[in-house]
């Protein structure tokens, strides 16, 4: 299997070691040659210097034949652009982008880009390690209908049962406050306690909530 990793920080270097240990072939791409020092002297993959948002650079890194690409730089926007190029220009089947801002996950999901958020993953692992008793909330995605337009996020939320994680308006995703006004066509991601799903659905006018697959 052939892979391209864009971004040779700690995450990229650790991923490269895992893939090589499993017998994969890979190319590490970073615009800073000094970053490759994190790979160690025994690195057996290919190295390419350049940016992951340049098609010619990606082609040089082997994107045309790659089975998968991981965009793991420290810049969410750069990772998104790189992932989109990999998917749409090179037709790479398995594309994963690292995101630092959980609210951006909705935008990536709409663009059919799989994402990993280390911040959210670490928080969940710490919560589990603390032994917190909980009922796992459901991730619900819904579009705001005309009947709820002009009302606040706080009116849609429910303390302890419904948390509005993000709102996507057009191509812009953001983490809302309770006082932000919602507009018809807004797409929201809500984390809803199982016993509150039906009440949440009833508060939405003209929306058809569905459980997220993410």
Tens digits of per-residue pLDDT, 174-189? 888 888 999 988 988 8
The DSSP string of 47-77 is EEES-TT-HHHHHHTTGGG-SEEEE--S-HH
d(CA 94, CA 53): 17
Q: For 84-183, where are the E strands, in sequence order?
A: 94-98, 114-116, 138-143, 162-169, 172-174
Instruction: Confirm whether 28 is domain-assigned.
Output: yes
Q: Which domain holds residue 12?
A: 2-122
Strand partners, 116: 98
Question: Is the pLDDT score of 19 beyond 90?
Answer: yes
Tens of pLDDT, residue by residue over 36-87, are 999 988 899 999 999 999 999 999 999 999 999 999 998 888 998 999 999 9
Q: Indicate whether 141 and 101 sit together in one domain.
A: no
Evaluate whether residue 127 is within a structural domain.
Answer: no
Residues 20 and 62 in one domain: yes
Q: Residue 112: exposed, middle, or buried by beta-carbon count in 10 A (0-12, 13-18, 19+)? A: exposed
Angle at 1 between CA 50 and CA 25, to 5 degrees: 50
Strands 68-71 and 94-98: parallel
87 and 179 together in one domain: no
For residues 73 and 52, the answer to whether their CB atoms sit within 8 Å is: yes
pLDDT tens, 76-127?
Answer: 889 989 999 999 899 998 999 998 776 666 566 666 678 887 776 776 677 6
Q: How confident is the model at residue 208 (pLDDT cuts 50, 70, 90)?
A: very low
Q: What is the CATH number of the domain that holds 70?
A: 3.40.50.720
| Inter-residue contact 25 to 45 (CB < 8 Å) | yes
Same domain for 24 and 68, yes or no, is yes
Is residue 130 included in any domain, yes or no? no
Q: How many domains does the chain have?
A: 2
**Per 3-state DSSP, what percentage of the chain is helix, strand, and coil (rounded to 5)?**
35, 25, 35
Distance CA 81, CA 95 (A): 12
Any domain includes 177? yes
Query: Would you state the pLDDT for residue 107?
Result: 61
Report DSSP state, residue 139.
Answer: E
Tell me if 50 is assigned to some domain: yes
Tell me, yes or no, whether 154 and 87 share the same domain: no
Number of Cβ within a 10 Å radius of residue 98: 23
């Amino acid at each position: 299997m052939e892979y391209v990793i864009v971004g040779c920080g700690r995450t990229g270097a650790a991923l490269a070691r895992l893939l090589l240990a499993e017998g994969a072939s890979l190319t590490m791409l970073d615009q800073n040659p000094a970053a490759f020092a994190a790979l160690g002297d025994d690195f057996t993959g290919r190295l390419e210097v350049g940016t992951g948002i340049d098609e010619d650079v990606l082609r040089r890194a082997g994107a045309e034949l790659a089975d998968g690409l991981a965009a793991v730089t420290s810049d969410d926007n750069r990772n998104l652009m790189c992932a989109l190029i990999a998917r749409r220009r090179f037709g790479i089947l398995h594309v994963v982008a690292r995101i630092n801002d959980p609210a951006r996950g909705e935008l990536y999901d709409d663009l059919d880009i799989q994402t990993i958020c280390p911040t959210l993953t670490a928080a969940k692992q710490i919560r589990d390690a603390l032994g917190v008793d909980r009922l796992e909330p459901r991730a619900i995605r819904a579009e705001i209908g005309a009947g709820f337009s002009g009302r606040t996020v706080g009116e849609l939320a429910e303390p302890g049962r419904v948390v509005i994680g993000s709102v996507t308006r057009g191509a812009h995703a953001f983490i809302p406050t309770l006082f932000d006004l919602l507009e018809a066509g807004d797409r929201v991601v809500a984390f809803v306690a199982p016993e509150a799903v039906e009440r949440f659905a009833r508060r939405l006018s003209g929306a058809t909530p569905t459980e997220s697959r993410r």
